[in-house]
Structure 1
Amino acid sequence: MGLLIKAAIGALVVVLIGLLSKTKNYYIAGLVPLFPTFALIAHYIVGTERSLEALRTTILFGIWAVIPYLVYLISLYFLLGVLRLPLALLAGVACWTAAAWLLIQGWNRWHGQG
């Protein structure tokens, strides 16, 4: 049942994005996916199953995790000038993946976990 509710919420978010994209304030559609739905879930789980210090570490990593998203947005902004939309999106995701991998490697090295 929980999976069905999550799927329904996901579908509602997609509908909301679609509706917002048709308004004069279409750019707000880019804000909707950034609502911290999954962050709330992750923080609750870590906060209840681990220590508060582990939660603080998770939050700190989340702050740094904004960097791959910025890499995605910046690369997509420029790639749209030279590639068709599907290829630009794919290349943007590749840039996000590379930035996320670098972030994880750097985090593990900095925090002695790798």
Structure 2
Amino acid sequence: MNLILKALLGALVVVLIGLLSKTRNYYLAGLLPLFPTFALIAHYIVGNARGIDALRSTIIFGIWATIPYLVYLISLYFLVGSMRLSYALLCATLFWSAAAWLLVIFWRIGYGLN
């Protein structure tokens, strides 16, 4: 049941993004993905399954995880002016992937994880 609820919540966010993108305030479609839908789910699960210390660690990692998203946005901003949208999105996603990979590597080194 929890899995169905999570899927429905994710689908609702996608529908709302689609609806917002067609309105006069289309830019709000860029704010909606930042609503902590999945963070709420993740924090609830980690908090219940692993405790407050693990939840706090997850929260700190989430703060650092905004860096790959920032890399994505900045790269996309510059790439859309020089290439087709589909290629710009692909490249920005690759930049996000590289930044996320580096974040995980540095996080694991900092916490002595293997």
Aligned to 2:21: 21
What amino acid is aligned across from residue 95 of structure 1 in structure 2? Answer: F
Aligned to 2:81: 81
SS at match of 2:83: coil
- Cα distance in 2 between the residues matched to 1:95 and 1:3: 30
Quick check: 68-77 or 7-16, which moved more? 7-16
1:1-114 equivalence runs, <5 A: 1-114=1-114
| TM-score normalised by L of structure 1 | 0.91
- Cα distance in 2 between the residues matched to 1:102 and 1:51: 27
| TM-score normalised by L of structure 2 | 0.91
What's the offset of the Cα at 1:6? 3.5
Conserved? CA contact 2:72–2:92, under 8 Å = yes
SS at match of 1:81: coil
What's the offset of the Cα at 1:96? 0.3
| Alignment CA distance shift 1:33-1:91 (3 Å) | same
Percent identity, aligned pairs only, is: 68
Quick check: 15-24 or 73-82, which moved more? 15-24
Aligned residues: 114
| Alignment CA distance shift 1:50-1:40 (3 Å) | same
What amino acid is aligned across from residue 68 of structure 2 in structure 1? Answer: P
Deviations 1:42-98 (A, max 9, x none): 111111111211111010000000000000000000010111000000001000000
Quick check: 6-15 or 58-67, which moved more? 6-15
Gaps of 5+ in 2: none
What amino acid is aligned across from residue 83 of structure 1 in structure 2? Answer: M
What's the offset of the Cα at 1:5? 3.8
- Cα distance in 1 between the residues matched to 2:51 and 2:3: 27
What amino acid is aligned across from residue 38 of structure 2 in structure 1? Answer: F
- Cα distance in 2 between the residues matched to 1:24 and 1:94: 31
RMSD value, Cα: 1.4
